[in-house]
Structure 1
Amino acid sequence: MRTFTSIDELEAAVGQDLGTTEWIEMDQARVNLFADATDDHQWIHVDQDQAAAGPFGGTIAHGYLTLSLIPWLSSQIFNVETPGARLNYGLNKVRFPNPVKVGARIRAGASIVSLTDVPAGKQLTVSYAIEIEGEAKPACVAETVVLLLAG
């Protein structure tokens, strides 16, 4: 895992691939917990019998579940320990090109897209691709935007 302790280190890493996480399995228990947390109990996610006869041959993870794993997955790739607070500012270009079937393994890769000046400090944009083991298309591609407040 890479740790950035200064703005200069982050600036030097713009455009760099930061690496990937280990593979993790998307299990039905995680999908069910997410369904309970969001009240999204669509059959394609939680009804294993009905989903078995559906378009994917079984249940699939919610796209937003996959997206929500980015903070945890990114903590396995890099850490930002610059002075000042770090705030989640939003997302850019989120897409879900391929569903994650329950039982599949996923991992995330990350790269720094940009580090720009804003009135409060710096804005860090990081690109993520969440891959599915054995699949050509990723499950999720997204850019996160973090506000690095001046320390």
Structure 2
Amino acid sequence: MSPQDLAAKVGENIGTSDWVEMSQERINQFAEATGDHQFIHIDEEKAKMTPFGGTIAHGFLTLSMIPYLSANSDIPRLDGIKMAVNYGGNKTRFIAPVRSGKRIRGHWKLLEMNEKRPGQWQQTVEITMEIEGEEKPALICEWITQFFV
């Protein structure tokens, strides 16, 4: 799809990802990678005594799943991309905890798609990270990506 064709979809939901499990192994690996060893994430016995009833994924782990979920989704792919880079976020809200063993998936809504300079496009999407079987999403964020074509 051309960037211009995608720009015509502003305001629309443009894709949903596959489900992915937030396993305790994944949570533990993220704790090791980031140095965030708070007990609520890695100590199953202590975490059982909290209102969550067990360990939960780091909010930043859930946020960091965006590239993986994006790659495993039906989001339209732009023709002729030379490079895509994360530019940042406008808003991020962690709505509900993701308990260890739960599955998540992302839903993308296109908010903006603008050509910043010739061949450089900036996309802003709203991503809602759904938790399987839960009423509230794990997070909602506005994420900005730049595409070079």
Q: Residue 19 of structure 1 corresponds to which residue in structure 2?
A: 15
Q: Tell me which of 14, 30, 34 is aligned to 1:34.
A: 30
Q: TM-score, normalised by structure 1?
A: 0.89
The farther-off stretch of 113-122 and 100-109 is 113-122
How far the C-alpha of 1:25 sits from its partner, in A, is 1.6
| SS at 2:36 equivalent | coil
Q: Which runs of 5+ in 1 are unaligned?
A: none
Q: Which runs of 4+ in 1 moved over 4 A?
A: none
CA distance change for structure 1 residues 52 and 112 in 2, over 3 Å: closer, same or farther? same
Residue 8 in structure 1 maps to residue 7 in structure 2? no
Matched AA of 2:143: T
2:125·2:143 contact (CA, 8 Å) conserved in 1?
yes
Alignment RMSD: 1.5
Q: 1:83 to 1:58 in 2, by over 3 A?
A: closer
Name the SS for the 1:108 alignment partner.
strand
Helix, strand or coil for the counterpart of 1:80? coil
Q: 1:32 to 1:83 in 2, by over 3 A?
A: closer
Q: Deviations over 1:87-109 (max 9, x none)?
A: 21111211101000001111111
Once the 2 structures are TM-superposed, how far is the Cα of residue 80 of structure 1 from its aligned partner? 3.0
Whole-Å Cα distance in 2 between the matches of residues 100 and 83 of structure 1? 33
What is the aligned-residue identity percentage?
A: 45
Report the number of matched residues: 146
